[in-house]
Structure 1
């Protein structure tokens, strides 16, 4: 499949494959330099060390080196694009430090100026240690494993004077095909530019414009417009050319908005039904293959899902490309999990949260599948100290893209102080599993009283009664292959009963309009900690598939229930 954005005329060096690798262990970053690099083995890129037998449960610094061709010209501008890495990264080109990465999982890029003739050398060092100062966005208490390595594709782009970075398309009118095209330029962009725009391979239209803040914006009509929807995911392609550089971007014509308690897709109410999904696999970690991503989406479609919440960090743009093609709606969110008030008020944490959230929105702008921008899962949004950051992030998202909905998943109930900032109220709760729980009530019988009482608090005289309400997390664990006629805790039977009852109670309440069950597949957590008592095998076992994508009983049970629902229920 073709990934987007695509640069058909640009010379791009695909750097995926095997790189020279050296393990530096518990190194002091002040002493980490590319000089004297001594490779001890090879490592795949994309890839992470944590899934390799020699480095299991080891945390430290790894260094990767790639020798490059020598045909670059002195003074030539290059742009290094990394689809995602973690937990911390530092990059050198020909021994010169060109940047650090403090945004785990985010797609980032760095400009390089070639100083002399080749051969050339690219070195990337990564660190999977927890470090509050160096990696404030990822903390050791997060309930998902933090991997070290380069998670996604790496490419080196050779740039022209008027390089095109992106071409963002925002639908304005579905019937006429009117869109706003924002061309984001990189390089010498002060003078008037002559450029061409073509839709779907048609005749190019010659235009001119003067960039403002590195952008040219224009409103155009897409010929023969087709509306994108989950049932009929029609897609368009726009091609923009300027002075020898060319970009192709794929987009869809669709709208997403709210009306009172409803979410409207293309003007019609929709009920969101799906799961939470991590980018994880025992042998790959977050370095997902195209085959695995396709398999996951086929399972979701088979379970009659129309929605997936991608947790708790930005996921691969390639996954969103597939969601665009297959008609699966997406909630995507920036990195954050259970963050305390002290973190939320920390100046560095706030700056990096805004940076990664803006980056997420810019990277994902053209995916019609994305309907919700999210952030800061289960943080202390019930505290006054959280308010400044929540205001900053919601404002930043709307400044970057006002065409989608904004939300965050909260486990604070009516104590939450930030719900007025978002479009959708999204609640996380685990009655009968995490809490509330007691010895006398079977887990599935605890769901309805708790969920209905919680819903009631956001109805009637509630200040948020006129906002859509969804349950962004609810679920329970089941161990793959564990069965019992008594349907006891940890069995597949127990989990299936819980999941179906949770879906029924949430979706059959007229106040709600969506649900993402926790979770799609089992995921690795942490082994050597006391918290593992609640996670047999060091795994979060709440998936309806196990970590290898083997289905549990809940997979079929939930799929059958979802199949009975329609958007008008």
Structure 2
């Protein structure tokens, strides 16, 4: 399944499938030469190498290799795209190192000049060891498992001498259905050219254009259209055709704004009813097939959600395509789980934070489902060293996309020093579960409503009163199949009661513009570390469904609450 944008006439090959594999373990990456390796195993791409019986839970380096039949005359421009791997990668083409993949989950492209051969050797080293210098955005204490492998599809394509890189589509007048197009060209761009522009598969029109800086800018009106929304996720395509290239982008007519303490979609106030979702499965890790992604999102939609927070890294482009189609509003975020002063003061870490934010925005720019760009979950935004970092990341996002809202999930509350950079205030808290929990005589559920009211009052103070307030995480764990008539903690009954009270308290408090419950499915977490004491089985078990998507009692409780709130 190919995610948008599409290039229907561009010569390309999908490289998914069975690859040769060599496990190196604790390898010295500085001297690694794939030509000297013995490849005596097979691994799937997309896939992970650390969930099978041979290397379950292993950390180290594995090298993938395959032959690529792709004849092209010498000098032809080729492009290799990796849509996501983890935690770190290095790529070789015909023995030449093309570069490194430093950001887990992010898409990377590599430019290649064809050497005239009919078949080529492609090798990719993937290392899932934690390294504070090399991959500082994925610390070992993160509350989600760091799988090793090539998580997503790989493609190789031939670039025509003149080609279309992307079309950015922006709604400039919702009522008039007017859009602004930025057609970014690549290769040998002439001073003047003629292209064909078409919407929704029509014949379109010929357009004579003079690119400025490789970009053609146009405005057009879409007849017989209506806005994209969760209830009516109407999508359109725009196609640009050149003599030897074509691109198809998909988009929706949609506006989003934050004012008066609320989020406004297409000029109408919207309350976000949502849930957090990881890319996770016990056997597949984050390398989820499209059918499973579609089933996850349909279960979320059936729950009554109009909103999903995709955590804690940029998700598969196919996920975003499906959210567009299903009508799910999206919070998309970068990596960075509880980072602090060390990372904020590290030039390498800071550069990676900004780089991943820019890649995320550039890749997702046309998805109408995305309304919130976010970064650095639960990081030390109360520390003075955070201020310039949060300023730089939010500015980088707005430079690329001033049309969407910017936020981050904070657990620093009143101490947060960076709220001036946010359009939306988003808070993570677990009253009655993690903190506060009261003393031995305090019923846990009684702590939820007062705590929510306290945070709502705080966010009514000057400087914050006009910003929408979201609960970006709240929840409690329940072990699938564990039932207790006394409703003991860890039972499905306790978890259902917790979510019932949390939903009631949030939805009855007008200051909250919405919520994202924690979380959709149980996910692999810490293994054999101190924090395992609060992670039975090594899982974060706060899912409304378990890791195999079997619903717990809380699923139906939340569905009822969300139905009542619609």
Instruction: Give the structure-1-normalised TM-score.
Output: 0.97
State the match for 2:302 in structure 1: 302
**8 A contact 1:172–1:178 mirrored in 2:** yes
Matched, 1:528 2:528: yes
State the match for 1:40 in structure 2: 40
**Which aligned pairs between 1:51-200 and structure 2 lie closer than 5 A?**
51-189=51-189, 191-200=191-200
State the match for 1:472 in structure 2: 472
Cα distance in structure 2, aligned partners of 1:185 and 1:61: 38
State the match for 1:503 in structure 2: 503
For structure 1, list consecutive stretches of 5 or more residues without a partner in the other structure: none
SS at match of 2:385: helix
Q: What whole-Å deviation, never above 9, does each CA across 1:527-568 have from its counterpart, x for those lacking one?
A: 1111101000000001010010000000000111111003xx
Q: What whole-Å deviation, never above 9, does each CA across 1:194-227 have from its counterpart, x for those lacking one?
A: 2221001112222233333432222222232221
**8 A contact 1:522–1:542 mirrored in 2:** yes
Q: In the TM superposition, what is the alpha-carbon distance from 1:2 to its structure 2 partner?
A: 5.9
**8 A contact 1:226–1:235 mirrored in 2:** no
Matched, 1:440 2:441: yes
Cα distance in structure 2, aligned partners of 1:397 and 1:164: 23
Q: What whole-Å deviation, never above 9, does each CA across 1:98-123 have from its counterpart, x for those lacking one?
A: 11100110122111111242321111
**8 A contact 1:199–1:223 mirrored in 2:** no
State the match for 1:451 in structure 2: 452
Cα distance in structure 1, aligned partners of 2:31 and 2:539: 35
Q: Which moved more, 1:406-415 or 1:193-202?
A: 193-202
**Which aligned pairs between 1:260-271 and structure 2 lie closer than 5 A?**
260-271=260-271
Q: In the TM superposition, what is the alpha-carbon distance from 1:254 to its structure 2 partner?
A: 0.9
Cα distance in structure 2, aligned partners of 1:220 and 1:383: 47
How many residue pairs end up in the alignment? 565
Q: Which moved more, 1:60-69 or 1:436-445?
A: 436-445
Cα distance in structure 1, aligned partners of 2:278 and 2:144: 9
SS at match of 2:371: strand
Cα distance in structure 1, aligned partners of 2:444 and 2:190: 64
Cα distance in structure 2, aligned partners of 1:463 and 1:232: 35
SS at match of 1:432: coil
**8 A contact 1:174–1:225 mirrored in 2:** no
Q: In the TM superposition, what is the alpha-carbon distance from 1:184 to its structure 2 partner?
A: 2.1
**8 A contact 2:94–2:120 mirrored in 1:** yes
Q: In the TM superposition, what is the alpha-carbon distance from 1:292 to its structure 2 partner?
A: 0.8
State the match for 2:247 in structure 1: 247
State the match for 1:217 in structure 2: 217
SS at match of 1:55: coil
State the match for 1:463 in structure 2: 463
Q: What whole-Å deviation, never above 9, does each CA across 1:326-364 have from its counterpart, x for those lacking one?
A: 101110001111001221221111111111101000111
Cα distance in structure 2, aligned partners of 1:543 and 1:186: 45
**8 A contact 2:137–2:339 mirrored in 1:** no
Cα distance in structure 2, aligned partners of 1:165 and 1:504: 47
**Which aligned pairs between 1:327-476 and structure 2 lie closer than 5 A?**
327-438=327-438, 439-459=440-460, 461-476=461-476
Cα distance in structure 1, aligned partners of 2:121 and 2:483: 55
Q: In the TM superposition, what is the alpha-carbon distance from 1:193 to its structure 2 partner?
A: 3.0
SS at match of 1:158: strand
Cα distance in structure 2, aligned partners of 1:72 and 1:121: 14
Cα distance in structure 2, aligned partners of 1:435 and 1:521: 22
Q: What whole-Å deviation, never above 9, does each CA across 1:141-197 have from its counterpart, x for those lacking one?
A: 111111111111110011001121211111111222211111122222353332221
Q: What whole-Å deviation, never above 9, does each CA across 1:224-256 have from its counterpart, x for those lacking one?
A: 222111111110000011231100011000111
State the match for 1:8 in structure 2: 8
Cα distance in structure 1, aligned partners of 2:429 and 2:70: 57
Q: In the TM superposition, what is the alpha-carbon distance from 1:70 to its structure 2 partner?
A: 4.9
**8 A contact 1:175–1:225 mirrored in 2:** no
Q: In the TM superposition, what is the alpha-carbon distance from 1:262 to its structure 2 partner?
A: 1.1
Q: In the TM superposition, what is the alpha-carbon distance from 1:91 to its structure 2 partner?
A: 0.4
State the match for 1:279 in structure 2: 279
Cα distance in structure 2, aligned partners of 1:124 and 1:217: 38
Cα distance in structure 1, aligned partners of 2:409 and 2:238: 34
Cα distance in structure 1, aligned partners of 2:327 and 2:501: 27
Q: In the TM superposition, what is the alpha-carbon distance from 1:125 to its structure 2 partner?
A: 0.7
**8 A contact 1:95–1:121 mirrored in 2:** yes
**8 A contact 2:25–2:62 mirrored in 1:** yes
RMSD across aligned positions (CA): 1.2
Cα distance in structure 1, aligned partners of 2:458 and 2:255: 30
Matched, 1:494 2:494: yes
Cα distance in structure 1, aligned partners of 2:382 and 2:420: 12
SS at match of 1:75: coil
Cα distance in structure 2, aligned partners of 1:369 and 1:50: 33
Cα distance in structure 1, aligned partners of 2:149 and 2:64: 9
Cα distance in structure 1, aligned partners of 2:494 and 2:455: 23
Q: Which moved more, 1:196-205 or 1:244-253?
A: 196-205
Q: In the TM superposition, what is the alpha-carbon distance from 1:265 to its structure 2 partner?
A: 0.6
Cα distance in structure 2, aligned partners of 1:2 and 1:85: 17
